[in-house]
Amino acid sequence: MKENSKLTAKNISLFVFAALWITVHTGCDSSAQFQAITTEPTVEKAVSPGPNPPVIADAKTILSRPQVPILCYHQLRDFRPTDGKIGKDYIVPVANFRAQMKMLADSGYHSILPDQLYDYLATGKELPSKPVMITFDDTRLDQYTVGLPELNRYGFKGVFFIMTVSLDRPGYMSKDEVKQLSAQGHVIGSHTWDHHSVKKYTEEDWKTQIAKPSKQLESITGKPVQYFAYPFGLWNRDAIQNLKRFHFKSVFQLSDPRDKDDPLYTVRRFIIPGEWSAGGMMRVMKSSFK
């Protein structure tokens, strides 16, 4: 993609993202594997009444729109002697994270937020050139103390998927810090109450893991919670149908192919391994997102 080009369904090149199979020790236990998308004209349909109803693309059209790279971070801290190989897949050393953000900025990337991604996928609205989404899972305090200053340094905005059971606990963000993130223009999404897989929920679990956390986050930020990230990146068709009851606009996973009927509920991300350099991350992005 050239520096001044705009990302639309008509002018972006097709891409294939090299498979990333990363096993995670805690937090989201998966990675992202982007597959080839075939662009094929389809008819879009209006889904709501009114004088100027939004035109929402059907699933086939959404799947034909090239994906935006969505980065997923968990812990931002230096390695410890007790960290094993698995741990280093999701713990990103501070210097590496800083170098990655600097390289994104120096390379002309623009951070986008979920509303922008939704409008692009659902309606074909243009995105800035070189878009990237930067997301964080699990409410770790270092996302606020290390991640936020680096985002601010380059004018980037991030998406923070909050696991509410951890709020105000040692090593995790406080309610006030989450409120400050939202007030500064970052997006707060839900990541359940305590990170149980949605594939195993009972009806009571949907209240405990989804309804109550959304209500709590809305009370903290004063804003609706419209986005959700699956714990471990795991999902199934039943989970999608249940999540629709809570009116999420988009839901984020990790490694599986997007659902052919509900791609907006299976948006893909990829975890940045802790041992990746900034250059390594950029090589993957440049070779896979053209």
pLDDT tens per residue, range 44-53: 444 555 567 6
Structural domain including 154 reads: 55-288
**Percent of the chain beyond pLDDT 90?**
72
Q: Whole-angstrom Cα distance, residue 169 to residue 175?
A: 10
Residue 266 within a domain: yes
Mean pLDDT on 29-55: 47
pLDDT in the model for residue 85? 84
CA distances from 198 to 46, 189, 234, 255 (A): 30, 16, 7, 16
Q: Whole-angstrom Cα distance, residue 251 to residue 133?
A: 14
Model confidence band, residue 86 (pLDDT cutoffs 50, 70, 90): confident
Q: Whole-angstrom Cα distance, residue 109 to residue 132?
A: 7
Residue 44 within a domain: no
- pLDDT tens digits, residue range 252-289? 999 789 999 999 999 999 899 998 999 989 887 777 66
Residue 36 within a domain: no
**Contacting residues for 149 by C-beta, under 8 A, at least 6 apart:** none
**Percent of the chain beyond pLDDT 70?**
81
Q: Whole-angstrom Cα distance, residue 189 to residue 200?
A: 21
- pLDDT tens digits, residue range 171-207? 999 999 999 999 999 999 999 999 999 999 999 999 9
Model confidence band, residue 84 (pLDDT cutoffs 50, 70, 90): confident
Q: Whole-angstrom Cα distance, residue 52 to residue 75?
A: 44
By the 8 A CB rule, do 169 and 212 touch? no
Question: Other C-beta atoms within 10 Å of 241: how many?
Answer: 11
Domain CATH code at residue 147: 3.20.20.370
Question: Would the pTM of this model clear 0.85, i.e. be above it?
Answer: no
pLDDT in the model for residue 204? 97
Burial class (CB in 10 A: 0-12, 13-18, 19+), 96: buried
pLDDT in the model for residue 35? 35
Residue 38 within a domain: no
Residue 271 within a domain: yes
- Which of 1-5, 84-88, 135-139, 223-227 comes out lowest in average pLDDT? 1-5
pLDDT in the model for residue 256? 86
Q: Whole-angstrom Cα distance, residue 25 to residue 90?
A: 8
Residue 239 pLDDT more than 70?
yes
Residue 169 within a domain: yes
pLDDT in the model for residue 28? 55
Overall domain count for the chain: 1
pLDDT in the model for residue 254? 92
Residue 6 within a domain: no
Residue 16 within a domain: no
Residue 39 pLDDT more than 90?
no
Q: Whole-angstrom Cα distance, residue 189 to residue 92?
A: 21
SS3 of 123, please? helix
- pLDDT tens digits, residue range 53-69? 678 899 999 999 999 99
